[in-house]
């Protein structure tokens, strides 16, 4: 039966973890998958999560199903974190949040929703974008295309080209933007640029879809939500896909959310009925545990304050590694100006290394990074930075 099945290609990001684990080199370095590592290379369970786990397990009375969109308290906590407690969207009740298995689950719900309810909509992706975006929407049968985003000449945002392209998009299409900490480039628009993007999409009748997976990893929880909030003007419609893998360190718990913001509360109910239909056929209803942890932390002032400090510590360590990396690349004589690495936001740096150089780093030095040259800066430490920069110097020479 299976003799006609062809082997699928290895996943460009998660496949690297398997290759890294199989490498016997004791000095191997993993800069691949976007997972936080501390100075010792450990991906810790945050102490706030340990405490929330204790409370959730102690209080749990049943393992019966959650509603299709998950716990309403979780949805409310997610909206407050993204939008701020006083936001008009919350006061008017025109947003509805469903708990999804990770940000990937949220994106796939959006894919199926678009295909079933707005079948003529093409989805525009940034060039570049997260390697899994095109595959998720292809699996849902949604047509995609790309808008310019990264300018390799300046290692910055190709803002004029992006805006010019957005101004040509037909009404009824949708654009998937990264709410903060663009993956893979680490380049975000300024607040003024976000305003212009949001205004352009509103004028053209193009639906914004925001992938919001790194809140708190850029500048801070509030600052990182500023761009996204520009799209939430009174009456505006949009979709937000959230992930709490990174900022709560809950990767394997698969905690995410999809928020549909409709023009008013009546439209919201109609839209949510279709979202529920999509979820029912994809995974029926969500797994409870991880979302209960997030909700427990966000609903408790002391625990939320503790979590914010833990998140700030992760962010500060990554930024420190950016500075160290720039210094060490220069010390090891790597040609070129790498100061842009310090300006990038979030977990990733788009290093500018070519596919061939990335391959040599893997084959000759047991250093693993995504083929696009994306580095997970959280994988850099004081202990491995010299070996890393010497290897980069060797493949760039
Ligand atoms: C990444 O980009 O490395 C992360 O979002 C993890 C993943 O699933 O690809």
> What's the complex ipTM?
0.94
Q: How far apart are CA 89 and CA 225, in angstroms?
A: 14
Work out the average pLDDT over 345-352. Answer: 92
Give the chain's mean pLDDT: 96
pLDDT band at 234 (very low <50, low <70, confident <90, very high): confident
- Active-site choice (124, 188, 194, 246): 246
**168 CA from centroid of ligand 1 (Å):** 31
Check pLDDT > 90 for residue 207. yes
* pTM over the 0.90 mark: yes
**35 CA from centroid of ligand 1 (Å):** 8
**318 CA from centroid of ligand 1 (Å):** 17
The per-residue pLDDT for range 237-285, each reduced to its tens digit, is 999 999 999 999 999 999 999 999 999 999 999 999 999 999 999 999 9
Question: Which part of the chain is CATH 3.40.640.10?
Answer: 65-299
**Domain 10-44+316-396's class?**
alpha beta
Q: Please tell me the predicted confidence (pLDDT) of residue 352.
A: 87
Question: Could you confirm whether 63 is annotated as catalytic?
Answer: no
The per-residue pLDDT for range 46-96, each reduced to its tens digit, is 999 999 999 999 999 999 999 999 999 999 999 999 999 999 999 999 999
What H or E segment, with its residue span, contains residue 362?
A: helix 355-365
Q: Please tell me the predicted confidence (pLDDT) of residue 273.
A: 98
Contact 367, 361 (CB under 8 A): yes
Q: Please tell me the predicted confidence (pLDDT) of residue 167.
A: 98
- Active-site choice (28, 112, 124, 130): 130
pLDDT band at 230 (very low <50, low <70, confident <90, very high): very high
Question: Which part of the chain is CATH 3.90.1150.10?
Answer: 10-44+316-396
Q: How far apart are CA 261 and CA 208, in angstroms?
A: 10
The residue whose two tokens read 């994306």 is: 374
First to last CA, the chain: 51
Question: What CATH topology corresponds to 65-299?
Answer: 3.40.640
Residues whose beta carbon lies within 6 Å of some atom of ligand 1: 13, 33-34, 130, 132, 183
Check pLDDT > 90 for residue 397. no
Higher pLDDT, 82 or 154: 82
Q: How far apart are CA 260 and CA 207, in angstroms?
A: 11
SS3 content of the chain, % helix, strand, coil (to 5): 50, 15, 40
Ligand 1, residue 132: give the atom nearest the CA: 9
Phi/psi at 139 (nearest 5 deg)? Answer: -65, -30
**59 CA from centroid of ligand 1 (Å):** 32
Each as own residue / partner, the long-range contacts of residues 354-360 (CB below 8 Å, 24 or more positions apart, any chain) are 357/392, 357/395, 357/396, 360/395
Question: Could you confirm whether 246 is annotated as catalytic?
Answer: yes
């Amino acid at each position: 039966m299976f003799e006609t099945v062809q082997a699928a290609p290895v996943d460009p990001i998660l496949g690297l973890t398997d290759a890294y684990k199989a490498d016997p080199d004791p000095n191997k370095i993993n800069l691949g998958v976007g997972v936080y590592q501390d100075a010792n290379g450990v991906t810790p369970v945050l102490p706030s999560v340990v405490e929330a786990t204790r409370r959730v397990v102690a209080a749990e009375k049943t393992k019966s199903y959650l509603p299709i969109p998950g716990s309403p308290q979780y949805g409310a906590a997610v909206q407050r974190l993204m939008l701020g407690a006083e936001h008009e969207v919350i006061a008017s009740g025109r947003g509805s949040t469903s708990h999804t298995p990770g940000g990937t689950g949220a994106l796939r719900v959006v894919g199926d929703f678009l295909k079933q309810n707005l079948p003529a909509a093409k989805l525009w992706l940034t060039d570049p974008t997260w390697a899994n975006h095109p595959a998720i929407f292809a699996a849902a049968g949604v047509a995609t295309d790309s808008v310019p985003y990264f300018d390799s000449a300046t290692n910055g945002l190709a803002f004029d080209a992006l805006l010019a392209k957005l101004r040509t998009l037909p009404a009824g299409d949708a654009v998937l933007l990264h709410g903060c900490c663009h993956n893979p480039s680490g380049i975000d628009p300024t607040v003024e640029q976000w305003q212009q993007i949001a205004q352009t999409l509103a004028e053209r009748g193009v639906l914004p879809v925001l992938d919001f997976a790194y809140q708190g990893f850029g500048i801070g929880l509030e600052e990182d939500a500023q761009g996204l909030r520009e799209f939430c003007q009174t009456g505006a419609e949009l979709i937000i896909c959230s992930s709490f893998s990174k900022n709560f360190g809950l990767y394997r718990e698969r905690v995410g959310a999809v928020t549909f913001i409709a023009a008013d509360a009546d439209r919201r109910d109609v839209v949510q009925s279709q979202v529920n239909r999509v979820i029912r056929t994809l995974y029926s209803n969500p797994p409870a545990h991880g979302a209960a942890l997030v909700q427990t932390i966000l609903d408790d002032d002391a625990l939320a304050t503790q979590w914010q400090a833990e998140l700030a510590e992760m962010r500060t360590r990554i930024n420190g590694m950016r500075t160290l990396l720039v210094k060490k690349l220069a010390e090891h004589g790597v040609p070129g100006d790498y100061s842009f690495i310090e300006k990038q936001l979030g977990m990733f740096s788009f290093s500018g290394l070519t596919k061939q150089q990335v391959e040599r780093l893997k084959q000759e030095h047991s250093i693993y990074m995504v083929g696009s040259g994306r580095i997970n800066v959280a994988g850099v430490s004081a202990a491995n930075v010299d070996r890393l920069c010497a290897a980069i110097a060797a493949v760039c020479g």
